[in-house]
Structure 1
Amino acid sequence: MSIVQPAQTYLNVMEVLVAEEVDKQQKQLPPKIAHYVNKSEAIAYALNRLPPLYATSQKGLQQQRLRATREMQPKIALAVRQALAAIQRDPLRSSPPLRLEVDRGPQDALRGLKELLGSEDLSWANLVDEVEHTLIRTARGEITWHKRGTSLAESHEWQDSRYML
């Protein structure tokens, strides 16, 4: 399944609080039992038994966190306790974890451009300036380009003529 995720501008505060509570309670378990607890399953189990608390701003995040700690903390602790009891890994049971494919096109493209341009500081914000700078250096003969995949360019997509002998 491929999921395209927009830039996230909201947060379910309950997810954060439940994850913190799972960590807290898991540390209190004997090591042999804690080893058989799948944290993701415990979090999902508890979240399915609690209401979501979404926030879209820093102030909203603080208010929802405060509300959850005041009003929901006993319910969160109980839901996590039940989750840890219910979701202990059966060593004989094996279920592959959920792997969501996120559209990595933009991240992969940026990573490729970083390699091609030899610029680890490249970001979407400075892409145009970096490409312009590289084109100017190429026009001046400071950079020599080679087709990707050729023996000269296998480890480096371009060579800076200042470093060539």
Structure 2
Amino acid sequence: MSIEKIVEQALQDGYLTPAMEAEVGRVCDTAAELSIEEYMALDRLMGALLTGEVVAVPRKQFINVMEELVLTEAIARVAEIEATSERTLDLGDIAAYALNRLPPLYATTEEGAAYQRQRAKEDLQELIAQRVSEAIAQNLNQPEFFPERQVINKGAGSDVLGQVSALLKAYAPGFEQPGGSSISF
């Protein structure tokens, strides 16, 4: 979809969705040079956002606590494997595989998230560890079927730290380390 059409849709609806925002970003990133019409449309969108005529819909108004629990488990396990072998594992694939086999734990408040974390640690920690183990086994045994496939949010790097950083930014923007200090990116 073109920038002009996205802006037209946002002005008509009064909302700029995360998908629309991502598409504008993709067009801007891939275009060698934007046309005058595209610049004018972006200027119109900026003005509408500043005046409140268009409201940007937040990316997430809720979190799935299971995502951060799976990421924590997967990060620890992947780091162990990569430190003791020559293998490089795809943290995103591992997390997605495990999450597809676990119940979601959504929350809209910090109190709700704390409750879901506590509930998961008491009732689901063993299941989380088991699903992450299955995901790692699947990842280790998976042949390179489609080496040309493109990763979502490509550009974060292929190393574990880059993958972790990208996943935490997307799924746990308020993730806190023990001791209360937030991770900043």
TM-score range, shorter chain: 0.5 to 0.7
| 2:149 maps to 1:96 | yes
Q: 1:16 aligns with which of 68, 74, 82?
A: 68
Matching residue's letter, 2:152: R
Asked if the contact 2:101–2:131 (Cα under 8 Å) also holds between the matched residues in 1, the reply is yes
Match of residue 3 from structure 1: 19
Cα 1:29–1:57 change in 2 (3 A) is same
Asked if the contact 2:82–2:88 (Cα under 8 Å) also holds between the matched residues in 1, the reply is no
Q: Which has the higher strand share?
A: 1
Asked if the contact 2:107–2:116 (Cα under 8 Å) also holds between the matched residues in 1, the reply is yes
Post-superposition Cα deviations, 1:25-83, rounded to whole Å, max 9, x if no partner, equal 11222536473210000000000000000000010010000001110000000000000
- Tell which structure's C-alpha radius of gyration is larger: 1
Match of residue 42 from structure 2: none
Cα 1:62–1:20 change in 2 (3 A) is same
- 1:1-165 matches, within 5 Å, as 3-4=19-20, 6-7=57-58, 8-31=60-83, 33=85, 35-88=87-140, 92-93=144-145, 94-99=147-152
Q: How many residues align?
A: 101
Q: Which has the higher helix share?
A: 2
Asked if the contact 1:22–1:80 (Cα under 8 Å) also holds between the matched residues in 2, the reply is yes
For residue 89 of structure 2, give the secondary structure of its aligned residue in structure 1: coil
**Normalized against structure 1, the TM-score is what?**
0.53
Aligned identity (percent) is 33
**Normalized against structure 2, the TM-score is what?**
0.48
C-alpha displacement at 1:95, in angstroms? 4.4
Cα 1:92–1:45 change in 2 (3 A) is closer
